[in-house]
Structure 1
Amino acid sequence: MGTVSYDWAAVRVVEAGSYPVVDTDQKTCYDNLGSIPCPGPGEPFYGQDATYPNVETSYTDNGDGTITDNITGLMWVKARGSKVTWDDAVAGASVDRTGGYEDWRMPSIKELYSLFLHSGVNGADYMSTTGFVPFIDTDYFDFKYGSGVGGERVIDCQDWSGTEYVSTTQHDQPTVFGINFADGRSKGYKKFLPPTWTEKNVLYVRYVRGNSEYGKNNFQNNNDGTISDLATGLMWSEYDSSEGLNWEQALAWVQAKNAENYLGYSDWRLPNIKELHSIVDYTRSPEKTSSAAINTDYFKCSTITNEAGQEDYPYFWSGTVLVDGPSREGAYIPFGRAMAYLDNVWQDVHGAGSQKSDVMIGDPANFPEGRGPQGDAVRIYNYVRLVRDI
């Protein structure tokens, strides 16, 4: 019987209820320090993002200020616009008439995340765009870095989503999830700015229309330790690794599970960051629902004790690597609080369901106050949830 192949780039119609996970566009393989030839089965670092092909991006510029995503069925405003407050971003959707359409809306964080391309690169200096490559397709979407002048870094050019965090961050501040297409991260952004928490934060916004079902999971419990998402065509392990692993160990753990035909399958993989993002449940958080940010009707999630001594839920590795200046970091998602040591206290600064990156080797004890300008927690030993194609 011959092999059937599909030209995914030619896909034009998305059925109602579908949630296609578009590829990350990561084509390079990495070890803990830099790029390497992509390993084969049984070799160290086998099974990372670039190992597996996925549905490639496919856009159409409609010539009227709009861009159609031919895979997801979403239509986007092409223009970058200006920075606005959260309130003005929300209000602006109903009066936007780009392309002659009257049904623009704020994108959910999952809709906005569909545009993320992890072929982007961070430069070595956040005050200069030298070495930077945007994490969005600039052949289709207008994009603008921060000025790099005064207190504005080149990465200070984030986008609001329409998804508010169900909890609060950093001294009980109302928070909205957004994406930074300059530095390859997704976080909760405060509606107001320190130190007074009265000045309104301003970020960019890009409106969307079409496929209102995008981002809605359709889980099915297969009653064999696996959970299928009929919206994405992905099957997940009901249980996670139950232990923290560094990135190389996480990849090796997946290979070991395949060798034992875990749950009856031998084609499990470490999910890429967009696949992992697809199962975040943004209606849940440790503070709001006393659970991980995942649908607990279907998934079991290990508990941990976080840096503040609270019962919490782990960070989970993806197979995707962030190129951050001279370093290489594994991309992860906190399904519990996204902790940072800020203002001399450990607290949830970025929100459960954010997407960040961590160094892949070393001793977490060497970072007692986190790292980076916000003191982000460094764990290195994160958890794994397996995925495969249905």
Structure 2
Amino acid sequence: MKTLSLKLYFSLVILLCFACKNAQNKTNIHFVITDTGQDKFYNDDGEKIAKPSETDEYYGQDAQYVGKLSAYKDNDDGTITDLNTGLMWQKTPANTRYNFYDAFTYVEQLELGGYTDWRLPTIKELYSLLNSNGELHPRNLEQSKPYINTNYFDFNYDKRMPFAGQYWSSTKYVKGPIQNIEIEGAFGFNFADGHIKAYETGLYYNGERGVRNPGNYVRAVRGKENVYGVNNFIDNRDGTITDQATGLMWQQVDDGNTYNWKESLIYAKNSTLAGYTDWRVPNTKELQSIVDYEKKTIPAINENFFNCTNPDSWFWTSTTQGDFKYTACYIAFGKAYSKDNSKATTYYDWHGAGAQRSDPKSGKVEDYLLESINAADSIRIKNYVRLVRTIK
């Protein structure tokens, strides 16, 4: 009996130590979300306005809140170190487009700065380089600014297709096929026009070859994997969720209403959820940080902690889209719909749940149905809101 009790005692001690170690490891999960860089204020029409006061209707947009500023170091060996995230990046990418699977071969064979452990970045790592002061002028590239800090990173527009500045991430789209012919997709970020979407990998969703695949560019990264973008959620049991990895507190369940952009800012300003009065609409980097890209079902969010009242939902950010300043960025937590062209009638999950697109800030859908021979995104005008606040 004493022997059994002793064995049980030591077993409990071992289990307790293991649990403590796991808890400690989880507590150490941390990554820095840097500011988007947006430093101008805009109204619904995309016009620049003066910095709004708290009583003004456009108060609470991206530029109102300045977060951790981006900081880089040029290592003078073809590499750039992000001083906030610790990730090291390729300064000058190859001027070559690769299909998704060939991109892995390229980074595995890359030797740069004396390092050989280069890899494709995840979509969250890649998006960490976003600078929201970008702006594309297809007919005047000299006036254009890519969505990346060109004081440190080299970027060249494709003069034939200036909008085609997409770079691969390693993140596959696992929630289903994209487009209208059952294509396998993987996420990339377009540093020319500032959008995330799922691109063709070169395979059909069932694994067969034969998809037309224009390919994307590659900007290699090195650094510890499974750190940047890994969340550490805590349920506060008061309608809020804290991500200990980022120091952000989130609204657990959206209020079930959709708003135009200006209304979303007002809703956030007036919220007293859980007794706090400093709620805001998240900027685009903040909201993208809680996307669950690995989950195989929609919505693209961890449903052990969060709830979307409409699983097929898009959520506003406070960030104005640089190319079309009458629009603001949203993150699609449901399917990111588009269609073959503006005359087509059927929408498909073209860009993938977890994509970042933009919607007009106000008005009527029919006011924005532009003629296009290319894919035409679905337009909603009114989107959902998931509030955020920074833990002091």
Shorter-chain TM range is 0.7 to 0.9
1:354 correspondence with 2:362: no
Q: Secondary structure of the residue that 1:202 maps to in structure 2?
A: coil
The percentage of aligned residue pairs carrying the same residue is 42
Letter in 2 for 1:28: K
Corresponding residue SS for 1:179: strand
1:163 paired with 2:185, answer: no
C-alpha change, 1:199 and 1:229, in structure 2 (3 Å) is same
Shift of 1:364: 2.3
**Of residues 127, 130, 138 in structure 2, which corresponds to 1:113?**
127
- Kindly indicate whether the alpha-carbon contact (under 8 Å) linking 2:97 and 2:214 is maintained by their aligned counterparts in 1: no
Question: What are structure 1's unaligned runs of at least 5 residues?
Answer: 1-14, 304-311
Deviates more, 1:170-179 or 1:370-379: 370-379
Which of residues 321, 328, 331 in structure 2 aligns to 1:330? 328
- DSSP 3-state at the match of 2:196: strand
Normalising by structure 1, we get a TM-score of 0.86
Residue of 98, 117, 141 corresponding to 1:129: 141
Residues 244-283 of structure 1 mapped to structure 2, 5 A cutoff: 244-257=258-271, 261-283=272-294
TM-score (norm 2): 0.86
Q: Distance in 2 between matches of 1:52 and 1:128?
A: 31
Letter matched to residue 321 of structure 1: T
Residue 163 of structure 1 aligns to which amino acid in structure 2? T
Structure 1 runs, 4 residues or longer, greater than 4 Å off: 365-372
- Corresponding position of 1:295: 302
Q: How far off is 1:210 after superposition?
A: 1.1
Give secondary structure in 2 for the equivalent of 1:72.
coil
Q: What per-residue deviation string (whole Å, max 9, x for no partner) do you get for residues 241-297 of structure 1?
A: 31110000000111121xxx221100001100000010000013xxx42x3000000
Return the offset for 1:16. Answer: 5.7
Q: Map Cα deviations across residues 155-193 of structure 1 (whole Å, 9 max, x no partner).
A: 112100000100210121011100111111111111239
What SS does the corresponding residue of 2:256 show, helix, strand or coil?
A: coil
For the residue of structure 2 that corresponds to 1:160, the secondary structure is strand
Aligned to 1:313: 312
Residues of 2 paired with 1:131 and 1:294: CA distance?
Answer: 38
Report whether the alignment pairs 1:181 with 2:191.
yes
Displacement of 1:130 after TM fit? 4.5
Distance 1:302 1:130 in 2: 45
The answer to whether residue 96 in structure 2 is matched with residue 98 in structure 1 is no
Kept after mapping to 2: 8 A contact 1:25/1:119: yes
SS in 2 for 1:250: helix
SS in 1 for 2:113: helix
Opposite residue 339 of structure 2, the aligned amino acid is Y
Of 196, 200, 223, the residue aligned with 1:190 is: 200
CA displacement at 1:328 relative to structure 2: 2.5
Shift of 1:200: 3.0
Secondary structure (helix, strand or coil) at the match of 1:227 reads: strand
Q: 1:262 to 1:136 in 2, by over 3 A?
A: same
1:93–1:207 contact (8 Å) kept in structure 2: yes
1:50 has 2:63 as partner: yes
CA-CA distance at 1:94 after TM superposition: 1.7
Q: Map 1:202-221 to 2 at 5 A.
A: 202-212=215-225, 213-221=227-235
2:340 to 325, 339, 342: 342
Matches within 5 A, 1:361-380: 361-365=362-366, 373-380=374-381
Partners in 1 of 2:328 and 2:125 — Cα distance? Answer: 23
Relative to total residues, which structure has the larger helix share, 1 or 2? 2
Q: Which has the larger radius of gyration?
A: 2
Would you say how many aligned residue pairs link Structure 1 and Structure 2? Answer: 353
Amino acid at match of 2:167: D
Structure holding more strand per residue: 1
Deviations 1:295-326 (Å, cap 9, x if unpaired)? 000001021xxxxxxxx52110000001225x
Structure 2 residues without counterparts, runs of 5 or longer = 1-26
Q: Aligned AA for 1:214? A: Y
| Structure-1 separation of matches of 2:314 and 2:371 | 15
Aligned-pair distance for 1:207? 1.0
Compute the displacement of 1:117 (Å): 0.4
